[in-house]
Each structure stands twice: as structure tokens, then as C-alpha cells.
Amino acid sequence: MKNRHLLWAAILAILFVPAAFPQSKTDKPLNNKTLVVWESMQDKNQQGGSALTVDDGFGHFDGIVFGERQKQSWMAGSDTYRRSGKIENSCPDQPLESSAWRQVAIVYEGLNVTVYIDGKNCNSYTVNNRQTFSRSSSIVFGKRHIEMQGDGYFQGKITDARIYDRALTEQEIVSLRPDSPTGPEPWAWWPFTNGSLSDKTGHFTDIRITGDVKTEDGCLILGGNHATVIASPGITAVKTASARILTDGQPIPKRVIQTTREFRERLLADQYRPAYHFCVPEDKGMPGDPNGAFYYQGRYHLMYLYNREGSGFSWGHISSNDLVHWRNHPDALIPGNGDEGVFSGGAFVTPEGKAYLSYWELWGAKGIGIAESLDKNFDVFRKSPENPIIKSTEWGITEKTVDKKTGDGKTESQIYGSADPSNIWMNNGKYYMLTGNLLVLNKYGRQPDSPKEMQGDRTYLFVSEDLKKWEYLHPFYESRRDWTNQSEDDMCPSFLPLADGPNGGSFSGKHLMLFISHNKGCQYYTGTYKQDHFYPEKHGRMTWVDNGYFAPEALVDDKGRQVMWAWIFDDRPDSLKNQTGWTGSYGLPRSLWLGKDGNLCMAPVKELAMLRMNEKVKTKLTVKAGSELNLEEMGTELMELEITIDPGTASRVGVKVGCSPDGREQTALFYDAAEKQLKCDATKSSLTLGRRNLESAPFELKSGEPLVLRVFVDRSIVEVFANDRQAIARAVYPTLHGKGIRLFSEGGDVKIISIKSWEIMPSNSY
């Protein structure tokens, strides 16, 4: 995946925690119930926190609370003490060594409440009311209940927490052991093994974290700073819960409506948020890879990687029938079922309409996972019980000893990547998939004397008969140092057939592999695929001076057209991204095909033309050498330009957009005939923000060929396409909000055959 992942793995492993697509054992609500926790705390003087609470989200809760009404005592915490009993019903905590563990259990049976400490009945009493909790309730560790403000948080270690949907007997409570499946089946269970915050029943999948929370040595550690974990039902459960809330007459809280509206209005007013380039709807698209693209029955589906607040790295899901206007689906993948989040991967859809997603499981020595769709709209995906289908032996790497099958008992070591799976494809009745090599390269290929087979970019080929059991075959292609250097990896691979025209058509006979290296960004190979090997014949890049165009993802539609997206890095400071509440934008969808000369061609998909408004046209203009022609009246902040130029003898010719009246800000897009390059000069794009550098892409006009530039301006993103053969996309942040357009020429006069401009209708909802 990305080098940043390795850094984040160390920093964030304690924060982004697993959940799962819910596979509920039962929808039975909690009437009679038992709460059980094994805890160890250093500070016996803390007051008012909860080691385990069940909360219905509407002000009702029951929890195992310490020191709220009586110091150094346990009690059955509840809303307005309705099920807490009198103060004398609190259970004083007995002296223990600071490292010792204590079991605390509370049993609710009818109107009777019993508190147990280490299996002994501490107090029993009768209350005047009972509380039922549905499967839409949430579970809280740390603070007493979800809406609690101010101080009063539990601090300490919890090694196991459970909720049962019946009243356990004293004998059953005594028989329970932490991290042991003996006894009745829990309604919810957190064993905190392997550093995981996953509910073992698979129901409470949406995890939110605040304060100093981490997992260590099989324990949840709540260290202070209002440390809290809130676990809520996931996608499928939320649907059921929503229906239940409506039938119960419970309104959506007004604060939710208000804050949703305020958030949308702030994004609409944001001066840099793109209006027709896709943006992650909310939260942080960092990393913001496009993933899991597929086409089925007139609809394009695309996943986007983002950091789901309080849960972890997840895949959002959008779909469209025109590649321009997108509908949001429930998240396709969220943390859980053995992983602690998801990183990049691909997709595959069968002719019958079953979609499969391949993804990299987080964190540590997990591997590659797969999930299948459960409904015709692809709203719900279920992770395979076979996961990980490709097992890691360490982060992103698999090393195993295999029999050479020579009959002499000799073995050999296999080393391959188990990170960033590609899309899945079928060939001769079998399923195939690639994995990336960043972590293998980091471990074995970075030194000057590293084995050559470990240096540079590489992918690994796997095969399956049934999408469940996968076998490693071999490296997919040979990496060549005349194309890439030994420091470059191959991650986020996409491998698909190429058509021979921009709108699809016939199969060209060649395949395209899109991928990234972390240090150089998006690039590709075209070549021949045969006998389970790929033979690259040409190599190209989509970013050159840095890696700002990143993480490609592609699909093939019903016309045979290959369409790709890529993540454009947001180079604003983290503090600014956090303030504005969004990050994560994609380049325009590009159509890719094989040109008649055997080179890769690219153009924005034709569907984008539906956004054009208010066309303006000028023809037969001349730009003198060393001069600029001001066309400010044609400029807007959301704009497409189509400029057809006879470059004559000019050494440089092009257009400047985003020009401020005083000339302090501008982005120059031009053809450099002397250097045979298409260039984007962003050194003056902004006074303060972005990568202000010069991007240069190889490009040469043929003899007598006019230069055709298509330029897209979308607030903070500028893209230029040249003659369907080259393109550059950059993030720019014009501080002065200039909208000016200036044609320019150097080294000779040029004729502008025509320039067309359109205002672009925003296609993002906000």
C-alpha cells in the first residue's frame, strides 16, 4: 500500500479498531440480563466512570459504575439512579494489589438487581422499574453513558467484558473465566485478544474512540483524558434498528439534523472543495485510494478508502449510471471479523451479479481478505469466513517453506507480498489476483547488494478454483531497470484488458497494468498476457516530478471501455484539513485505450460533457511571440476549456488559468516543443498552499499536428489533457481566487484556431 501506512501502523494501531459486518446470533432484546467485566485499576479514588454500560441512545442506560455515589464502591449505574438502589446498596471495593484482577457482575432479573464481586453476592435489592434494551443499543467503556459530560471516567485495564441476555446464576458467574468460551453464549463479548476491540458476536461493529485508549497484552487500557470506547451496531443492524426506532415513534434527535445541515453548509461554502471532481463525502480520505470498481447492468460502482471516525479505515461506496452523478451506499467494508480495518484492493462481479471485494486486512500479520455481496443493490457485503484467504506471516509479507516435489525431500523458501490485492479476473475457468510488493521490497530489496529478484517493482500471481482457497503461483512479470529504478515498488495494481478506442470497441489484444510506486506515484505497463504471465512491452507514468497523482483504480464497462480514477494528494496542512472537515479528491474519470501506434491513449470520459453550460467561443486569434492574450471574460472557478492551436515555430505555447489580476497567482499549462513535454507550472498557483512545482510529462506533436488542450478547473484541482495522449492533474489552492485566462507564446507567433469555454455544473451534492 503506502509508505505512510508503515508510519501510521506504529502510531495508530492502538486507535483504529475492528468491528465486523454483523452476523447477529439473535435479535432478542435485553430484558433480564447480566453484565460481567474483569478489571484492574490503579487509582481507587476515581469516581463516576463505568467499566461496562449498555445505552439505548435515548437517555437510558445500565452499567457497572465505580465510585459515583459512594467512594471506592461498585454500583449498578442507571439513568437518574432508577435501577441503582440506595447508597447503602453500593459494594465497597475490597483491598487488592494494584496488578490484581477483579470480576464484577450485575444481574438484572425482573425487578431484582444483584451485584457480585469475584463471584460473591455483594448486594441484592428490588427496584420499581426495569429497562429493555434493543439490538440498536450501544455499549460504552469508560464513561457512564453516551451523553455524559464533564468528569467521571473509568481508568484502568479490562481484560474481558460480556453481556448475557438472561440472568446468570451465582454458580454460572463463578464458573466464568476471562478469555474463555466456557459457560452460556454471550449476547455481546469483548475478549480483547490480539489487540482487538472487536465484539466477538459480530454485532457491535461501529467503534468510536476518544481519549487515551489502547490495547496491550490482551487488555483494553483506558488511560485518562476522558478515555472512552463506544461500540454500536453496524450497517445491517442499523437498518433493522432504524425501522424499529420509527415504529417505536422515536424521532431523530434535533441536534443530529442541525449538525448535519451545518456541516453540509460549511462544505458548500468551502473555497477549495471541488464541485465536480468526486470528494469523500465526510471524514478523512487520508489515505483516500479509489478501490473496488466494477460495472454491472448499467451502473458503475466505486469504493473509496477513508478513515471512518471512531472506527478505522473503511471503504465507502458510491454508484452512478453516468460517471458524473453519484449515489451514496452504506459503507461496503468496515473493520471487523478478524481484521482491524481495511486498506486497498479491487473488485470482481460475476455475470449473475454477485460482487466480490478483495482487500488488505489491517493490522500486522493478517493478509488478504475477500467479501461477497448479499443483495442486488450491493448495499451489504459479508466478509468471508475463510479470511485471510492469503495469510501474512508479518505485515504485508508471507514467507513459507514448501516441498520442491523432487522426491528427495528438499524444500525451498517462498517469499511473496500479501498486501494491496488487485481486482480479481477469470481466465480459463479459474480466478486470478495479484498482490503488491512494498513490504517485501522494504525488507529484502532496498540495499545496493540486495538480490535482483527482490529489487524494484513486482506483483505476485495467485489462482483459485472457488474464490475461497488461493494458491500462490509466481511473480507475474519481470521488473526492468531501464523502465523503473530499484527503489520503486508495485502497489495498488489494476490489471484489465485494453480496448482499441476511447468508447470501448474491440479488444486490442493488450492488457494494461496500472499501479503506483510510493516514491514516484501512478504509472503503468501495457503488454501481452499469456500462460499466466504478463509480458510488459511499454511503460509510462502519470506523475513525474513527485507522487501527487496516486493509487489508480479501474473497471471495464459493457462497451469494453476501461475507465480509471486516481487519488489526487491534498497538500494542505493537516491543521487546515482538520478544520474544514474533509479531505480526499479524485481525478476525473479517464477513458484508457490502445492507440494505433501501440501507445496508451487517455481522455476524460465523454459523459462529463453533460455538465457544460454557457458555451463561449473565439476563433482565429493570434498570440505574438513573448506576449499574452487576456481572455478573462471566459474564465470561471468551475470551467472547461478546449483550445486548438497551430503552434508554428513557438518553443512554448499554452494557457494560464486561475490568474489573479495582479499576476501574483496563476497556473500555466503548456507544450514545450524544445523539450517535447507537456507541462504544468504550479510554482505560482497559490501564495501559501500546495506543491508549488513544475510537472513535466513526455509529449511530442507530430509534424503538422495541431495542439489540442482540454483544461479543467475545479477550485483546488486543475487537469490538462493533450491530444488524447497525455495528461497532468494537480491540486492547486488559489489564495486570491483569480479566474483569469491568458493565452501565451514564447519563441514564435501562434495561431489559435479556436478556444471554447464552458462553465461546469457542480455534480457533487455538497
pLDDT in tens, 226-275: 889 988 886 433 333 222 233 334 467 787 888 889 999 999 999 999 99
* Per-residue pLDDT tens over the stretch 689-704: 888 999 999 999 999 9
Q: Which CATH architecture has domain 22-233?
A: Sandwich (2.60)
* Per-residue pLDDT tens over the stretch 650-672: 999 999 999 999 989 999 999 99
Q: What is the pLDDT of residue 26?
A: 41
Give the ranges where 212-326 is alpha helix by DSSP (H).
Answer: 235-247, 254-268
Which of left, alpha, beta for 558 (phi over 0: left; psi -120 to 50: alpha)? alpha
Q: How far is CA 123 from CA 45, 52, 116, 431, in A?
A: 21, 18, 7, 61
What CATH number labels 606-760?
Answer: 2.60.120.560
Taking 90 as the threshold, does the pLDDT of residue 617 lie above it? yes
The residue type of 731 is A
Query: Cell 495494481, residue?
Result: 493
* Per-residue pLDDT tens over the stretch 38-68: 999 878 889 899 999 999 877 889 999 998 8
What CATH number labels 259-269+287-569?
Answer: 2.115.10.20
- Please give the DSSP secondary-structure letter assigned to residue 442: H
pLDDT band, very low/low/confident/very high, at 201 (cuts 50, 70, 90): confident
Comparing 259-269+287-569 with 606-760, is the CATH topology the same?
no
* Closest to 514 in 3D by CA, of 696, 702, 291, 667: 291
Q: How far is CA 146 from CA 123, 139, 324, 647, in A?
A: 26, 9, 39, 66
Q: What is the pLDDT of residue 407?
A: 61
Taking 90 as the threshold, does the pLDDT of residue 757 lie above it? yes
**Percent above pLDDT 70 for the chain:** 92
Cis peptide before 18 (omega within 30 of 0): no
Using CA atoms of 244, 249, 254, 257 in order, give the dihedral in degrees to the nearest 10. Answer: 50
Tell me the average pLDDT across 737-755: 95
Q: How far is CA 687 from CA 240, 665, 737, in A?
A: 51, 7, 11
pLDDT band, very low/low/confident/very high, at 561 (cuts 50, 70, 90): very high
Please tell me the least confidently modeled range out of 201-210, 372-381, 562-571.
201-210
pLDDT band, very low/low/confident/very high, at 385 (cuts 50, 70, 90): confident
403 by DSSP, 3-state: which? strand
pLDDT band, very low/low/confident/very high, at 506 (cuts 50, 70, 90): very high
Tell me the average pLDDT across 480-502: 96
Cis peptide before 363 (omega within 30 of 0): yes
- Please give the DSSP secondary-structure letter assigned to residue 211: S
Q: What is the pLDDT of residue 221?
A: 93
* Per-residue pLDDT tens over the stretch 130-175: 888 887 789 999 999 988 877 789 999 999 999 999 999 999 999 9
Taking 90 as the threshold, does the pLDDT of residue 756 lie above it? yes
How far apart are the C-alpha atoms of 750 and 311, rounded to whole Å?
Answer: 56
Q: What is the pLDDT of residue 251?
A: 64
**How many Cβ atoms are within 10 Å of 626's Cβ, its own excluded?**
12
* Per-residue pLDDT tens over the stretch 432-478: 999 999 999 999 999 989 999 899 999 999 999 999 999 999 999 99
Q: What is the pLDDT of residue 584?
A: 94
Grid cell in block for residue 709 = 488542450
Give strand ranges (E) for 82-217: 91-92, 102-109, 112-117, 120-126, 138-142, 156-164, 188-190, 206-210, 213-216
- Specify the higher pLDDT residue, 128 or 90: 128
Tell me the average pLDDT across 403-410: 66
Q: What is the pLDDT of residue 336?
A: 81
Cβ neighbourhood burial of 18 (10 Å; 0-12, 13-18, 19+)? buried
Beta bridge partners of 248: none
Q: What is the pLDDT of residue 1?
A: 43
Please tell me the least confidently modeled range out of 77-86, 549-558, 709-718.
77-86
Tell me the average pLDDT across 335-343: 86
Taking 80 as the threshold, does the pLDDT of residue 530 lie above it? yes
**Which uninterrupted H or E stretch holds 565?**
strand 562-568
How far apart are the C-alpha atoms of 220 and 277, rounded to whole Å?
Answer: 41
- Specify the higher pLDDT residue, 341 or 760: 760
pLDDT band, very low/low/confident/very high, at 345 (cuts 50, 70, 90): very high
How far apart are the C-alpha atoms of 765 and 495, rounded to whole Å?
Answer: 31
Taking 80 as the threshold, does the pLDDT of residue 538 lie above it? yes
Beta bridge partners of 416: 398
Taking 60 as the threshold, does the pLDDT of residue 581 lie above it? yes
Cis peptide before 536 (omega within 30 of 0): no
Using CA atoms of 655, 661, 667, 670 in order, give the dihedral in degrees to the nearest 10. Answer: 20
* Closest to 655 in 3D by CA, of 686, 623, 677: 623
Using CA atoms of 682, 517, 494, 277 in order, give the dihedral in degrees to the nearest 10. Answer: -20
Q: Is-contact 435 460, C-beta < 8 A?
A: yes
pLDDT band, very low/low/confident/very high, at 12 (cuts 50, 70, 90): very low
Q: What is the pLDDT of residue 406?
A: 58
Tell me the average pLDDT across 701-709: 95
How far apart are the C-alpha atoms of 677 and 687, rounded to whole Å?
Answer: 26
Listed by start position, the domains of the chain span 22-233, 259-269+287-569, 606-760
Starting from the edge strand earliest in sequence, which strands make up the sheet with 91-92, in order? 91-92, 73-78, 61-66, 49-55, 138-142, 228-232, 206-210
pLDDT band, very low/low/confident/very high, at 22 (cuts 50, 70, 90): very low
| End-to-end Cα separation, the chain, in angstroms | 29
Tell me the average pLDDT across 716-734: 96
